[in-house]
Amino acid sequence: MFTHRPRRLRQSAPMRNLVAQNRIAPADLILPVFVKEGIQQPIDISSMPGVQQHSMDSLKAAAHDAVAAGVGGIMLFGVPAKLDAQGTAGTDPQGILNVAIREVMAEVGDDMVVMADTCLDEFTDHGHCGVLDDAGKVDNDATNKIYTQLALAQAEAGVHVVSPSGMMDGQVAVIRDALDEAGHTDTAILAYSAKYASAFYGPFREAVDSALTGDRKTYQMDSANRTEAILETELDIQEGADMVMVKPAMSYLDILRDVANMSPVPVAAYQISGEYAMIEAAAANGWIEREPAMLESLTAIRRAGAQNILTYYATEAARLLA
């Protein structure tokens, strides 16, 4: 009598590799990087071992390392020297992020996709993703007007992809209209479509020197909600998003699968700072094996439906996957 034995296909590494249902290629990975204004040497981020606030020179070196490893994209975040209520450092053509875009495009713009975070939280003295009204609440429509300025500044600096991450209603539509009217019809939009108000963002706030007090629960999604992510994603696609994102990734794999099942455009997921930090902390304590855990976490994100993964492990993982 025939008896199927699935274990036959698990008996060696070559066999397991042959029948693996999900694979990650270096080109699937996107490296998030932070560039800080006014520094000559990179600064270690204590809560994210191995990740730094880059100087312009170290940023360019990191971009070249990523290209050499085969990484598909790089996402730039700026850390300005001065903050204000309107986040003007973000729209300033000479602001740190826009200068970094030009520098990175000149270095590797023909070799990888250069993306920029299109948000105000790095640039505002209150740390929110938008401008505030007289009551101290984020003003959705006033923020969208500034988002168009951010996107235009980034497009004019040459970036391939702008990435609105503030979760303002209508942000993709106003950015697409502004880019098209200015002749930047080839600049793509990666929308942070399902971005949750997560407790796992803590290390990121150190990375960008965030001034935030309180939380962003009035505009980022509630972690209890699932179907709302589909609505948000559908709206962004209707408004012209070329790609969509789920953030965080590891704690929201069910959301990622839901979005991947319905999206006609590529889906990305962001393995965020807290998710990275947990792996690093557990590995540093000897509780898990670092490299297998890193690759397993990325495989899980891919298995859940992500076509691209933003991860601070991108360059290292790409070398291991090559």
Residues 207 and 47: their CA atoms lie apart, in Å, by 9
Q: What is the 3-state secondary structure (H, E, C) of 202-252?
A: HHHHHHCCCCCCCCCCCCCECCCCCHHHHHHHHHHHHHCCCEEEEECCHHH
Residue from 36, 60, 145, 195 carrying the catalytic annotation: 195
Residue whose tokens read 């070249």:
64
Collapsing DSSP to helix, strand or coil, 17 comes out as helix
Q: Which helix (H) or strand (E) holds 44?
A: strand 43-44
Q: What DSSP letter does each residue of 265-294 carry, written as one string?
A: S-EEEE--HHHHHHHHHHHHTTSS-HHHHH
Q: Is 195 a catalytic residue?
A: yes
CA distances from 57 to 26, 36, 107, 221, 277 (A): 24, 11, 11, 36, 25
Cβ atoms of 245 and 238 within 8 Å: the answer is no
H helices of the chain, in order, are: 13-19, 56-69, 88-91, 96-108, 140-157, 171-181, 202-207, 227-239, 253-262, 273-284, 290-303, 314-321
Q: Is 60 a catalytic residue?
A: no
For residue 248, whether the previous peptide bond is cis, meaning omega lies within 30 degrees of 0, is: yes
Residue from 137, 145, 217, 247 carrying the catalytic annotation: 247
Cβ atoms of 97 and 87 within 8 Å: the answer is no
Cβ atoms of 130 and 219 within 8 Å: the answer is yes
Residue whose tokens read 């699935």:
6
Active site residues: 195, 247
